[in-house]
Amino acid sequence: MNDNDNMKKNINKAKEAKYCGVCNEQFNKSEYKVLCVGKCRKWSCQKCTGMTNKSIENLATENKNWTCKSCKVPKKKESIVMLNNDDDDSSGPEEEKDNESE
């Protein structure tokens, strides 16, 4: 499939898209909508992209891709860190004894 076929396919998908993938509002027929090439592959309204008409037109004419904020932000991975203490005695922390006499 060549670039022209891809563009036609995306235009047809854009016509089918009725709601913004970010704000879930119905698309305004007079504004641009942009496809995220990231993992979500959702269409976004111009307001949610934060781009001007000129910026979006440049994306199209220069055949550049756009990625939404959600797909750009690296997902935080949870880590478990265990410290290895060679002096480990499984009795836990030592308790201080009160040697004071009353």
In angstroms, rounded to a whole number, what is the distance separating the alpha carbons of residues 82 and 79? 10
Residue 42: closest CA among 69, 63, 73: 69
Per-domain boundaries in the chain: 3-72
> Hunting for tokens 């935080």 — which residue is that?
76
Average pLDDT score over residue span 37-66? 91
Round to whole Å and give the CA distance between 18 and 25: 8
- CB within 8 Å of 5: residues ≥ 6 apart: none
Beta bridge partners of 35: 43
Query: What does the pLDDT read at residue 75?
Result: 61
Asked whether the whole model's pTM tops 0.75, one would answer no
Domain at 3-72: CATH code: 3.30.40.10
pLDDT digits (tens, 9 = 90+) for 47-58: 999 999 999 999
